[in-house]
Structure 1
């Protein structure tokens, strides 16, 4: 009997060693995660977001994960193309799909199909919950608040207290978070008479007329500008469809029609850069070094989004103020949250990127090296249940 036990022990020992080695290997081996990223376009702001999805995936390499990003090649906010891209990602059996909807209602059926296939869903560029759709996480900002920040920068430039233009300059450091709360705190100190004394004429270039994003940004801008009765919006918004060429065309039409406007607010970065080019070509671009001169025919450009290109223009003084929507954050943290979903870990249901003003004094805090928190991939790997 003793001899039998010795024989069995000798036979089992190598198997135990193999199991031990195998267990150690599986624990240390990188976990593969495939993320499908379906933007409505791959240029401009979405190029920036895509770059940082890739940067975050590269950062995870060698730290317990092998993350692959499959980016669909959307063009021009084509809704049908984006739906087809989502269905294609479902067929490829990715672990998580991140999408910035060209149109919220149109992508809902495709995202439902993703959830039915067991694929995680992240909605980017939106915080407002989509009714009737199960979403693992929203990454974005409040579009209304973002436009309120833009209107606040306009009011500051033309005389309200702040960091821009003609008003009282506040003693703030470049890293001060110039969000809606910052502006509101200072504007609430103004009397109605002081607000009425701030005067300027401007025009608006909106996105796709009637689109959710366009409507909410128009609402936000008006929420603030109505408190400054001397800031007059001339005529109806021109639809630039989020495109630089159309933004240029809108601005050209405005400049030809009005020789006394003081500013253009474009609801997106591409349209804003187009407006800047139109004003520059017309010899009417007001730069940060010119100083505020209401009624002289020069036009200050304000916009929304913030990309490496627009930060360069802000640093040059060609764009006066732009509201950041955190596109680097979308990609950097989007990859992190997608990996957490794939690993069956708890994730933030709402990841709020608070919009804030970017101007000449703080521009270089954003690009080329945005300040982003390091991701603890090792802890995520240790707790991963994939």
Structure 2
């Protein structure tokens, strides 16, 4: 039962007595996700979130999906505010466009936790905590993976690469690209980034982007993709063109398809990230906020490097 509804339905004295018990027993937590259907990571995240909420007798969850539509997500935020949920978790469709809705929740006294991909910095005053991966560090680690491989192959002083990023305007895409592009010249200053184009987290689009790169550039030594879903799309394009064996593929968020491609020796490395950990961390962060615990603003979980050389240390992703 929602605490505020109970409070409104009771006399003042009875409500205050009941609120003390109710607030410790049941929280109504709403979540609006980015786009569950776009990839298996988000699908697995949703299932894990629902499972974690159902396993916690103190939580009632309202689970929504924006389907990648900013306007829909803003409407969902407004709906959750109208429902007077105790806390809102948002996986932003766009890090800037959702700020007014987040600000409204904050103004109405509803704490907001951002999950997986942070909102733009101007929205930070309206957010209690961000729970998710450090995407800049992920990008930097991917650059290190690629540079180390180029050094092993003896081409670090001449390699040319292309990049396939995620959805434009999406904080994760921006930060992973930023981390990669800033770190690469520090570790491999002579590697040339030929071009960067968005793949929108979509394997088929990434494959088309890579097809265009292969036509445009005769010499491509490496591909960095913002996630393995797009990375495998790029790999498929290179295989069809007969050029995959000469290209080092590095991604992020190690999907099962990326792990399998690494097993086959076709895909070099990625960043290991669990959607289950992601979902459970977001829910726990919201609960901790509601319980008045001291929660760090940037509540990161670790995402280590994974390559063909150390993949035996990691279980195959379930997504």
TM-score interval (norm. to shorter): 0.7 to 0.9
> Once the 2 structures are TM-superposed, how far is the Cα of residue 342 of structure 1 from its aligned partner?
3.1
| 3-state SS, counterpart of residue 304 of structure 1 | coil
**Aligned equivalents of 1:110, 1:210: Cα separation in 2:** 17
**Aligned equivalents of 1:72, 1:346: Cα separation in 2:** 27
**Aligned equivalents of 1:222, 1:135: Cα separation in 2:** 28
8 A contact 1:127–1:142 mirrored in 2: no
**Aligned equivalents of 2:225, 2:271: Cα separation in 1:** 11
TM-score, length of structure 2 as denominator length: 0.80
Query: Does 2:69 correspond to 1:55?
Result: no
Q: Specify every segment of 5 or more residues in structure 1 that has no aligned partner in the other structure, as ranges.
A: 1-22, 160-164, 168-195, 287-297, 371-386
Q: Deviations over 1:114-148 (max 9, x none)?
A: 22333221011246873353212111233322211
Query: Does 2:299 correspond to 1:351?
Result: yes
**Aligned equivalents of 2:81, 2:250: Cα separation in 1:** 39
2:284 aligned partner: 336
**Aligned equivalents of 1:67, 1:311: Cα separation in 2:** 34
Q: Computing the radius of gyration over CA atoms, which structure comes out larger, 1 or 2? A: 1
Query: Does 2:79 correspond to 1:88?
Result: yes
> Once the 2 structures are TM-superposed, how far is the Cα of residue 343 of structure 1 from its aligned partner?
3.2
**Aligned equivalents of 1:205, 1:343: Cα separation in 2:** 41
Query: Does 2:108 correspond to 1:148?
Result: no
8 A contact 2:131–2:285 mirrored in 1: no
> Once the 2 structures are TM-superposed, how far is the Cα of residue 232 of structure 1 from its aligned partner?
2.1
1:241–1:354 CA distance, 2 compared to 1 (3 A): same
8 A contact 2:95–2:170 mirrored in 1: no
1:166–1:248 CA distance, 2 compared to 1 (3 A): same
1:151–1:258 CA distance, 2 compared to 1 (3 A): same
Q: Deviations over 1:341-370 (max 9, x none)?
A: 333433333211244312233366254479
**Aligned equivalents of 1:309, 1:34: Cα separation in 2:** 36
> Once the 2 structures are TM-superposed, how far is the Cα of residue 95 of structure 1 from its aligned partner?
2.2
1:40 aligned partner: 34
8 A contact 1:55–1:332 mirrored in 2: no
1:31–1:305 CA distance, 2 compared to 1 (3 A): same
**Aligned equivalents of 1:332, 1:86: Cα separation in 2:** 21
Query: Does 2:62 correspond to 1:103?
Result: no
**Aligned equivalents of 2:62, 2:257: Cα separation in 1:** 24
**Aligned equivalents of 1:123, 1:284: Cα separation in 2:** 40
**Aligned equivalents of 1:368, 1:71: Cα separation in 2:** 24
**Aligned equivalents of 1:300, 1:270: Cα separation in 2:** 16
Q: Which structure: greater helix fraction?
A: 2
**Aligned equivalents of 2:180, 2:52: Cα separation in 1:** 33
| 3-state SS, counterpart of residue 146 of structure 1 | helix
Among candidates 185, 196, 208, match of residue 237 of structure 1:
196
How many residues are matched? 296
> Once the 2 structures are TM-superposed, how far is the Cα of residue 247 of structure 1 from its aligned partner?
0.8
Q: Deviations over 1:180-238 (max 9, x none)?
A: xxxxxxxxxxxxxxxx854422111123446544443333222222232332222x212
Q: Deviations over 1:85-121 (max 9, x none)?
A: 2122223332221112122221111112222333221
1:57–1:247 CA distance, 2 compared to 1 (3 A): same
Comparing 262-271 with 353-362, greater Cα deviation is found at 353-362
Matches within 5 A, 1:177-188: none
TM-score, length of structure 1 as denominator length: 0.67
Among candidates 262, 282, 286, match of residue 221 of structure 2:
262
